[in-house]
Structure 1
Amino acid sequence: MPETTLTMDYVMEASSSAHFSGLRVDGLLRSSQSASSSPRSASSAAATSTEANFPKQPFVIGVSGGTASGKTTVCDMIIQQLHDHRVVLVNQDSFYRGLTPEESERVHEYNFDHPDAFDTEQLLECVGILKSGHSVQVPIYDFKNHRRCSDSFRQVNASDVIILEGILVFHDPRVRNLMNLKIFVDTDADVRLARRIRRDTVERGRDVNSVLEQYGKFVKPAFDDFVLPSKKYADVIIPRGGENHVAIDLIVQHIRTKLGQHDLCKIYPNMYVIQSTFQIRGMHTLIRDREISKHDFVFYSDRLIRLVVEHGLGHLPFTEKQVITPTGSVYTGVDFCKKLCGVSIVRSGESMENALRACCKGIKIGKILIHRDGDNGKQVMFFHRLDALPFLKLNEICSSLHKFICLLKQLIYEKLPKDISERHVLLLDPVLATGNSASHAIELLLQKGVPESYIIFLNLISAPEGIHCVCKRYPSLKIVTSEIDDSLNDEFRVIPGMGEFGDRYFGTDD
């Protein structure tokens, strides 16, 4: 039985109306409905203007491979299985350049498999319009006369999923950069030649000799020079094309997962939201209820925090480890990351320490105290030890305007493990609001030598403004949260939020 080969590299992103099915993704629809129905003040709407700069993005899939490799079959199978989403198929063949009269007279000497045969600029324009949420007119190419139909186009509407299919869609980096997922269909050369002969003679009115001559003179050399080298850019490689049902099923499952993500997770690949269940929604309902008792608030908050911590630990590196089980068998598993510590932002972050200690026995935990200066979102930092104040050179300060502001305006104290630069750091704070507190804490960790990619920021709820602030400034850092809320209000409080978490958790509220 042939083995299924499926390669995925995620550090882990137009057809006729017949290719449309179902409604928009429920999660995306609910998000837009809740945003429009929830009452917000004018200042709140202004505060979320950053969100408007990031419109909902469709999931773009590139499908490449040699001629007659089965690309269209793979696309059709993906479309059929994504029956509950709107999907459009855009063929690179639609963007062939029309031949001039001189080229038409010598059509047998024209290389249709060369990148110059396509109008890539128009392809980029059309896909860009679709990604921005607008419909577009795609040209129709006449393969018998080798020119575009000047008086007719195909109307392609905006959709949840855009599939871009063609032999050279991976060749141009500008086109590749539009894609969230790149699939290469890998089929034996003899099978591809037989399919091409059948297709060109039946569908395009050509004789066998001309097909074979073109294949030997242009198609095969172009495949070796342009198509095959682009295979290295693929995230997924499907051998045997449409016959590989296992690979296609896995791809569709992955696409469904991506479509179910919050929009901000599509914009920022370093943003992670734990999968929502009725249990998680129920716990959020309880801790957000202002009438809940302190005992219940702490109990259900601890449960949610434990889930976030466990999810965050899953992003740490691991090594393979073998153990002997009580039955004498060998079990191959993984060993936990040894160099690890927690850092809590006092005082709300201290509520997350018990969950971290329960998951990581004997873990070291440092503390950072950030004092909020009024209600304007500005922060002042304080730490626990003055004797560790670092000496900063002028050129280091001037290297970043943001660091200059953060470091010169703040008096820094710290109580952190001495070897923190060698450790992966779990930064703890239940609420990500403006992102200022988190940014100041992250800057301190970076000054202490912690690599940005070693920091995982854990919180219960996040506001879009804070996500934009942290993720754009620190693209290598990871954020793990249990829910993304709507916005900040004019007092820079998360809406709907859960109030002052520290006061509610430690019983110091009124």
Structure 2
Amino acid sequence: MIEASSKVHYSGFHMNGVTGGAASGKTSICDMMIQQLHDQRVVLVNQDSFYHSLTEEELARVHEYNFDHRDAFDIDHLLSCMEKLRQGQAVDIPKYDFKTYKSTVSRRVNPSDVILLEGILLFHDPRVRGLMNMKIFVDTEDDVRVARRIKRDTSQNDRDIGTVLDQLWTKMSASEVSLFLYFVWYNNMNSYSPVVCVFGSVYSGVDFCKRLCGVSVIRSYFSMENALRACCKGIKIGKILIHREGDKQLCLSQFSRSVRLYEKLPNDIAERHVLLLDPILGTGNSAVQAINLLNYKQSLRISAWLLTYLFYSLAPQGVHVVCKKFPRLKIVTSEIENGLNEEFRVIPGMGEFGDRYFGTDDD
């Protein structure tokens, strides 16, 4: 729709949501959509407008405040404003000041034909998702977003670069750092001197594998990509989005009909060794879908590694499903857990991976 040369027209009221990582280009995408909809009344509303004003105690420790946490937003106020606009009423949208960390003024927004709502955690709340006629995710490389965010926060939000970098660093969880260190160790093994083992055999180390490629299963915000990029500079990364649905009363083999919705893979993936990045393996159905796609792209040459997130776990049922179908596949993980519960979640496990990674776990 953005690239279309003809005019785009909606009949009736529409509310479209645009989300993606910080500094991914959400506002730019919205601006292009507004240009295409120039013959209709369109208004842009930012989720950032609904940040909570910080208390004096929070202001004293603002460098520790997580603005990327769901609780940083006043979602109830956002929902109230959107419902009024849906009913044809004008609303006052707050304007958040990132220098004072308070909402000081408001802007009047009148009812329109199309409401564009954008924000980093826009689709986290099911009530907000339910309002959308269209949902768009903006996928931008991490290094590009980091550069944009540093420039934006230092020039527009009056923050020093040290504070910005500290906040970015704290987003890397302990398990992500561990994966990073694992890859660094692997990358440097070939520089070590030969080691004479206790039985006299000589171990000379390993060489770093060439022509690598990462493929990220899109969930939990591509959490393994940062560590891979940090170790393998310039590595090509692909994406696969898989939707899972199913009747929880069915048996394991019937549960979760996995449907591939989106793929973006390097053109030369058939010539590369693939690191399939997926933070969790439960039933194994999503993994099978992803590997089947890679097999097809690689001309039926099974050479993918399924890397699960370190300090997270696999269910034995999922391991059996994947290994039975792909016996030559190499699986690297930190631990195999007891199994799956009635909700087909890994037990004992550590809870939802996304909650652990983003720090949104209630526990």
Q: Give the alignment's TM-score, normalised by structure 1.
A: 0.33
Q: Identify which of structures 1 and 2 has the higher relative contact order when contacts are C-alpha pairs closer than 8 Å and 6+ apart.
A: 1
Which is higher, the Rg of structure 1 or of structure 2? 1
Which structure's residues are more often helix, by fraction? 1
